[in-house]
Structure 1
Amino acid sequence: MVPFPISVAELLGFNGYIPPYANARGRTILNGVNYASAAAGIRDETGRQLGARISFGGQFTPEQYASVLIQQYSRNLREVYNYGARKFVLNGIGQIGCSPNALANSRDGSTCVERINSANRLFNSQLISLVDTLNRDLPDAKFIYINNYGIFQDFITNPRSFGFTVTNAGCCGVGRNNGQITCLPGQRPCQNRNEHVFWDAFHPTEAANVIVGRRSYNAQSRSDAYPMDINQLAQL
């Protein structure tokens, strides 16, 4: 399956993909490495199955938690800037409340969970403001925002215009909406994966990733990217 970063890398004209950090050795690291890690997030505790965690509900309101994330993200980005990076693509959060996992726990299995999507929008709004702040404070760098939330809204609202017929269930998974447990080893996926928005409980299909990548690279609407798309950023 082609994930979003590889889709964009192909559009940028890369002949090969940077290696994962875990496998990089020697001077290979100087050419760039992929730090992607399943369930990794802005905060260190994100995705941990064991050990101390901060309870979202017990510690913060959604607004406060979004602010905490943005503050940490800002520090992380400034640190990367200090290492020499000058072009940044900041991806907004998609509609997690419309994922099969969220729908599996919803009342009817088809209506997106507004409580989750509302929190996503709060974060995205602050992320756009962060783009403006960093572009102002670091004028020799350029930061852009990709509106994943809006792109996925198009998938959910007008699925057939993108070739999708299934928006509320994973192609591979277990339980209601194929979203209660993610795809298991050896499990047979659906045969019409290109018609699904979601591959499993959380992740988009290759078909969805390719569309997101294309719209991130060449914005199809003014809301897809801010203040410019990846193609324009690459030409600076």
Structure 2
Amino acid sequence: MACNFFLHLLCLFSFFFFSTFRGLTLRVAEARVVPAMYIFGDSLVDVGNNNYLLFSFAKANFPHNGIDFPTKTPTGRFCNGKNAADLLAEKMGLPTIPPYLSIASKSNNITRFLNGVNFASGAAKIFKDTNQQYPQSISFGEQVDYYLAVQKELVQKLGASRAQTHLSKSLFIIVIGSNDIYTYFDSSINNRTSPQQYVNSMAAALKQQVKRLYDYGGRKFVIVGVALVGCTPSSRNEQTNKECNADVNQMAAKYNGVLVSMLKNLKSELKGINYSYFDGYSVMHNFIQKPAAYGFVEVKAACCGLGKLNADAPCLPFATYCSNRSDHLFWDRTHPTEAAHRIFVDHILYGPLQYTFPINVQKLVAV
């Protein structure tokens, strides 16, 4: 009788254990919202590609970068912790998306690309760098070239139909344009090209690359507009009154307007394409106008750096850094803190429509 009693208990335990485990497994599986993320852009979403560019000075693989990253070490992210690419991957139920150059040379293993790939590169522009002998970054077009190699391998391993299904449900994130705006003011381009002509050519070049991504499987795009880049500590530091650079901000706003129009036209041109545009310009304006509402105390000076506004020098190992990182909008001269990235990502995911249109990413993944 005792044996039967204990046997009964064992059966009950097994039933509840495996039922619970099965439920847990299902919940974990359901947590993955999209099959993968393919990320393109600049230092705002670079997770270490520039570490592999031998002659590039646009790197963040040294302290104090990464001080709040889980490993407490610099990884190549231009941030004190995680950036928007990391945080969006978490929200999508995906593991950290690796930098392309860290896995490109590894053994021919399909799993390296199945969760997605990050092609972003610090200092990258929509337009190709003029210095090709010692490139500082991977331009947007070159990032798309890398993606085409990934897509080709996915087709070889999964077959054309499965690969297309995988890619059509994945997110294609594009965060680029700020460095093109800066270049306009820092070079002789502005002597021969009007601001309107320049932003028109930026949008046209971006459109060309988006169409290439579409031709090779992309269907769901998250496009981030250029933020209020005239209000970075670096831009402010160049002004005698330490206020925002109005010319730079005006140029960014002008480009965003052209970009939105281009995306609307693209939607009518390409069958099955869907997108979510994020108005980072307006959200960053809110941060600066009403910092306390978002948990910020300091929105002008960088947390890490030297000199006025901590913007006379980048966040180098000999620079000083603040202890209250979550109170700061900016980590260094030009990049947001992890705290700011988190708020940006919440807006990207959930809206409202005022900042993410025609739909937010939560709705985009459900399309």
- Tell me the TM-score normalised to structure 2 length: 0.60
Q: What is the rounded CA distance, in whole Å, between the counterparts of 2:130 and 2:228 in structure 1?
A: 18
Q: What is the rounded CA distance, in whole Å, between the counterparts of 2:332 and 2:131 in structure 1?
A: 17
- Residues 1:35 and 2:119 are matched in the alignment: yes
Aligned counterpart, 2:248? 116
Given that 2:306 and 2:320 are in contact with CA atoms closer than 8 Å, whether structure 1 keeps it comes out as no
Given that 2:298 and 2:328 are in contact with CA atoms closer than 8 Å, whether structure 1 keeps it comes out as yes
Q: What is the rounded CA distance, in whole Å, between the counterparts of 2:88 and 2:223 in structure 1?
A: 13
Given that 1:150 and 1:223 are in contact with CA atoms closer than 8 Å, whether structure 2 keeps it comes out as no
Q: What is the rounded CA distance, in whole Å, between the counterparts of 1:117 and 1:108 in structure 2?
A: 16
Instruction: State the 1:48 CA deviation.
Output: 8.1
- Residues 1:231 and 2:366 are matched in the alignment: no
Give per-residue Cα distances to partners, 1:25-59, cap 9 Å, x unaligned: 322235421101111111111898968x9633223
Given that 1:40 and 1:46 are in contact with CA atoms closer than 8 Å, whether structure 2 keeps it comes out as no
Give per-residue Cα distances to partners, 1:76-106, cap 9 Å, x unaligned: 0000111101000110011001000000011
Aligned residues: 232
Amino acid of the residue matched to residue 126 of structure 2? I
Instruction: State the 1:186 CA deviation.
Output: 4.4
SS at match of 2:247: helix
Aligned counterpart, 1:125? 257
Given that 1:94 and 1:120 are in contact with CA atoms closer than 8 Å, whether structure 2 keeps it comes out as yes
Give the gaps of 5 or more residues in structure 1: none
Q: What is the rounded CA distance, in whole Å, between the counterparts of 2:219 and 2:192 in structure 1?
A: 35
Of the structure 1 ranges 156-165 and 172-181, higher mean CA displacement relative to structure 2 is found in 172-181
Aligned counterpart, 1:106? 239
Residues 1:130 and 1:207: Cα distance change in structure 2 (over 3 Å): same
Given that 2:305 and 2:320 are in contact with CA atoms closer than 8 Å, whether structure 1 keeps it comes out as no
Where does 1:1-236 land on structure 2 (aligned, <5 Å)?
1-14=81-94, 16-24=95-103, 25=106, 26=108, 27=110, 28-29=112-113, 31-45=115-129, 55-109=188-242, 111-219=243-351, 221-236=352-367
Amino acid of the residue matched to residue 23 of structure 1? S
Residues 1:67 and 1:181: Cα distance change in structure 2 (over 3 Å): same
Instruction: State the 1:62 CA deviation.
Output: 1.3
SS at match of 1:222: coil
Q: What is the rounded CA distance, in whole Å, between the counterparts of 1:217 and 1:38 in structure 2?
A: 24
Given that 1:131 and 1:144 are in contact with CA atoms closer than 8 Å, whether structure 2 keeps it comes out as no
SS at match of 1:169: strand
SS at match of 1:149: helix
Amino acid of the residue matched to residue 36 of structure 1? A
- Tell me the TM-score normalised to structure 1 length: 0.92
Identity of aligned residues (%): 31
Residues 1:55 and 1:200: Cα distance change in structure 2 (over 3 Å): same
Aligned counterpart, 2:3? none
Aligned counterpart, 2:141? none
Residues 1:71 and 1:169: Cα distance change in structure 2 (over 3 Å): same
Higher RCO (C-alpha 8 Å, min separation 6)? 1
Q: What is the rounded CA distance, in whole Å, between the counterparts of 2:271 and 2:132 in structure 1?
A: 36
Give per-residue Cα distances to partners, 1:87-134, cap 9 Å, x unaligned: 00110011001000000011211x211101000001100111111011
Which one has the largest radius of gyration?
2
Given that 1:41 and 1:47 are in contact with CA atoms closer than 8 Å, whether structure 2 keeps it comes out as no
Given that 2:100 and 2:119 are in contact with CA atoms closer than 8 Å, whether structure 1 keeps it comes out as yes
- What RMSD in Å do the two structures reach over aligned CA positions? 2.0
SS at match of 1:183: coil
Give the gaps of 5 or more residues in structure 2: 1-80, 136-182
Residues 1:127 and 1:11: Cα distance change in structure 2 (over 3 Å): same
Residues 1:151 and 1:36: Cα distance change in structure 2 (over 3 Å): same
Given that 1:218 and 1:231 are in contact with CA atoms closer than 8 Å, whether structure 2 keeps it comes out as yes
Q: What is the rounded CA distance, in whole Å, between the counterparts of 1:47 and 1:76 in structure 2?
A: 21
